[in-house]
Amino acid sequence: MVGKKSGLIGTYKYAAKKSRSLVFKSYVFISSVVGIFVVFLTTLAGITWTANPVGTGPFREQILLGAILLVIVIPLVAPVFIVSRRQQKDRSTVRNEGFMAGAGYGYIVSLFIGLGIIDPNDHTLNWQLESVGWWIDSLPESYGVRVIVLSIGMIVIIERKTRKLN
């Protein structure tokens, strides 16, 4: 039944079935794939840190991983939850769903760019826009966090602006 939703998976199914925007439907799919990948990597990191304790205290690393997981996943699923809630109240439009999908895609792109900036390792770049990659890699690490925080702020701003458009 489409009208009944419960939990994360139910919300994703509901939002995908009720949406009239192809851009938003694609975001539902892409964000679920990225979210599953992030949870998988975080689980592997937790298993690795548990198997190889560094001696910093019990479960300190797992708490850090949990916090990182929440900071990454909540903005990733926020556009889907916002649109799903609006669909339940019959306040969702194709245009607003497209805006929220765009904000979500912006977050995904900024997350990967920000993590590339934060990563202290030198990267080997063999692609057409190599100079752009070198420029991004040369930015100070604090810029990576700023890019991610700005994209989260953009999700909030677009949510508020599209709420007023209904």
Confidence of residue 21 (pLDDT cuts 50, 70, 90): very high
134 in a structural domain:
yes
Q: For a pLDDT cut of 70, what percent of the chain falls above it?
A: 90
61 in a structural domain:
yes
What was the pLDDT predicted at 135? Answer: 85
Q: What is the mean pLDDT of residues 17-34?
A: 95
- What is the SS3 assignment for 1-29? CCCCCCHHHHHHHHHHHHCCCHHHHHHHH
93 in a structural domain:
yes
Q: What total number of domains does the chain contain?
A: 1
140 in a structural domain:
yes
What was the pLDDT predicted at 55? Answer: 58
Specify the pTM.
Answer: 0.85
90 in a structural domain:
yes
Which residue segment(s) compose the domain that 148 sits in? 7-165
Tokens of 55: 């001696």
Q: What are the DSSP calls for the chain, one per residue? A: -TT---HHHHHHHHHHHH---HHHHHHHHHHHHHHHHHHHHHHHHHHHHHHS--SS-TTHHHHHHHHHHHHHHHHHHHHHHHHHHHHHTT---HHHHHHHHHHHHHHHHHHHHHHHHH--S-----STTHHHHHHHHHS-HHHHHHHHHHHHHHHHHHHHHHHHH-
1 in a structural domain:
no
Task: List, for residues 127-159, the tens digit of each pLDDT value.
Answer: 787 788 788 888 898 999 999 999 999 999 999
Confidence of residue 1 (pLDDT cuts 50, 70, 90): very low
> Is the distance from CB of 25 to CB of 19 less than 8 angstroms?
yes
Cα angle at 82 between 77 and 83, to 5 degrees?
Answer: 105
Q: How far apart are CA 64 and CA 105, in angstroms?
A: 26
Q: How far apart are CA 166 and CA 153, in angstroms?
A: 21
33 in a structural domain:
yes
Nearest in space to 101 (alpha carbons), one of 109, 90, 112:
109
76 in a structural domain:
yes
